[in-house]
């Protein structure tokens, strides 16, 4: 019976990072738009409750936001959630972040499973653009998710904190759903993309290229580049993230990198 209920719920992925400004919004909005434009019913939650910018990335002015839902209190279980979503031209549905930072406090951790389950009942995919770091609210999202994408760039400090984040989530037994996204992976930095698997001790990595022109234009016009620029390499990078939904967790574990030699044997 439980399996029957689970089957009906859409698949859920969240995008999180240890450092701000690494590309969570750009990547999550484009992954969501890619799924929606393929005809899958898809919803994105702007989980940056204080300073969310999914509205900006999609050039939308929503009538309702998640704070309107939060104000429903006990009635939250009963409401029709589709009334609170913005329907973007791409087919993507959006649950926007509050329009004022102080309204973020209305959203409490216990509301997250209720909201996510309602959205997963109505949609094949639920994507969450989370805020930077780990909080009680973000842990509620992370626990529910089928896939957790940790976004980083090649800056050494970001990589170091990404490794700490990976280890933290592994301790919470989330290893099979963790993926790393290295954004702007071809930029000139001291650390090279090819060193990342060794630094992070994992092969579960997807690389997204740097493309200032395409990304900036897309943000300026409010149209995801996966829609306006389908032939660009950066669009194929995004599509490879959405394909992770088809990968089962056993495949992922096999791809996990282990230290070789004595260190590896001792670590087993």
- Enumerate binding residues for ligand ATP (CB under 6 A): 17, 20-26, 48, 132, 183-184, 208, 210-212, 215-216, 219
Q: d(Cα 138, Cα 141) in Å, to the nearest integer?
A: 5
Q: Minimum distance from CB of 121 to ligand ATP (Å)?
A: 27
CB 116 within 8 A of CB 214: no
Is 28 a residue that touches Mg ion (CB under 5 A)?
Answer: no
Q: Which is nearer to ligand ATP, 81 or 234 (CB)?
A: 234
Chain-centre distance for alpha carbon 17: 9
**C-alpha–C-alpha distance, residues 154 and 158, integer Å:** 7
Nearer to ligand ATP, 22 or 137 (CB): 22
Q: Is 55 in the site for Mg ion (CB under 5 A)?
A: no
Query: Does residue 18 interact with Mg ion by CB under 5 A?
Result: no
Identity of the residue, 52 or 118, whose beta carbon is nearer to Mg ion in the bound complex? 52
Instruction: List the beta bridge partners of residue 206.
Output: 181
Alpha helices in 91-232 (DSSP H): 111-122, 136-144, 156-171, 196-200, 212-221, 225-228
Alpha carbon separation from 73 to 67, 97, 118, 128 (Å, rounded): 10, 17, 15, 22
Give the Cα separation of 222 and 31 in Å (integer): 15
Report what 109 binds from Mg ion, ligand ATP, none; CB cut-off 5-8 Å by kind: none
Smallest separation (angstroms) from Mg ion to the CB of 153? 13
Q: Does 25 engage in binding with Mg ion (CB under 5 A)?
A: yes
Which lies closer to ligand ATP via its Cβ, residue 69 or residue 215?
215
| Enclosing H/E stretch for 93 | strand 93-95
Q: Name the minimum Å distance from CB 48 to Mg ion.
A: 5
CA 201 from chain centre, in angstroms, equals 21
From the list 17-25, 64-72, 204-212, 231-239, the region that binds Mg ion by CB under 5 A is: 17-25
Identify the three-state secondary structure at position 258. Answer: coil
Closest CB to Mg ion among 28 and 202? 28
Structure token digits, residue 66: 């998640």
Task: Output 168 or 216, the one with its CB closest to ligand ATP.
Answer: 216
Q: Provide the minimum distance between the beta carbon of 242 and ligand ATP in the complex, in angstroms, as a whole number.
A: 16
Integer Cα distance of 170 and 165 in angstroms: 9
Length of the chain: 268
Min CB(255)–ligand ATP separation in Å: 23
CB of 46 to Mg ion, least distance (A): 8
Is residue 79 within 8 A of residue 69, CB to CB? The reply is yes
Smallest separation, CB 80 to ligand ATP (Å): 29
Q: What is the number of the residue whose Cβ is closest to Mg ion?
A: 25
Question: Do residues 197 and 205 touch, judged by C-beta distance below 8 A?
Answer: yes
Decide which of ligand ATP, Mg ion, none touches 120; Cβ closer than 5 to 8 Å per partner kind.
Answer: none
Residues that bind Mg ion (CB under 5 A): 24-25
């Amino acid at each position: 019976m439980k399996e029957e209920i689970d089957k009906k719920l859409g698949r859920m992925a969240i995008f999180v990072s240890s450092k701000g400004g690494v590309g969570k919004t750009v990547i999550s909005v484009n992954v969501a738009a890619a799924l929606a434009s393929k005809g899958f019913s898809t919803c994105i939650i702007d989980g940056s409750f204080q300073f969310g910018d999914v509205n900006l990335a999609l050039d939308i002015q929503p009538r309702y936001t998640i704070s309107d839902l939060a104000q429903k209190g006990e009635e939250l279980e009963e409401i029709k959630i589709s009334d609170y979503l913005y329907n973007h031209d791409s087919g993507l549905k959006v649950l926007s972040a509050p329009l004022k930072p102080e309204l973020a406090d209305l959203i409490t951790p216990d509301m997250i499973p209720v909201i996510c389950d309602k959205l997963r009942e109505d949609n094949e995919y639920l994507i969450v653009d989370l805020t930077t770091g780990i909080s009680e609210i973000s842990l509620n999202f992370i626990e529910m998710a089928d896939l957790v994408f940790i976004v980083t760039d090649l800056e050494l400090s970001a990589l170091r904190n990404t490794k700490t984040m990976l280890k933290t989530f592994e301790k919470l037994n989330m290893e099979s759903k963790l993926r790393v996204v290295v954004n702007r992976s071809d930029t000139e930095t001291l650390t090279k993309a090819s060193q990342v698997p060794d630094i992070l001790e994992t092969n579960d990595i997807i690389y997204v290229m740097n493309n200032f022109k395409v990304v900036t234009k897309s943000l300026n016009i409010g149209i995801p580049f996966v829609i306006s620029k389908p032939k660009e390499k950066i669009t194929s990078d995004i599509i490879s993230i959405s394909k992770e939904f088809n990968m089962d967790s056993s495949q992922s574990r096999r791809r996990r990198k282990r230290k070789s030699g004595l260190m590896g044997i001792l670590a087993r």
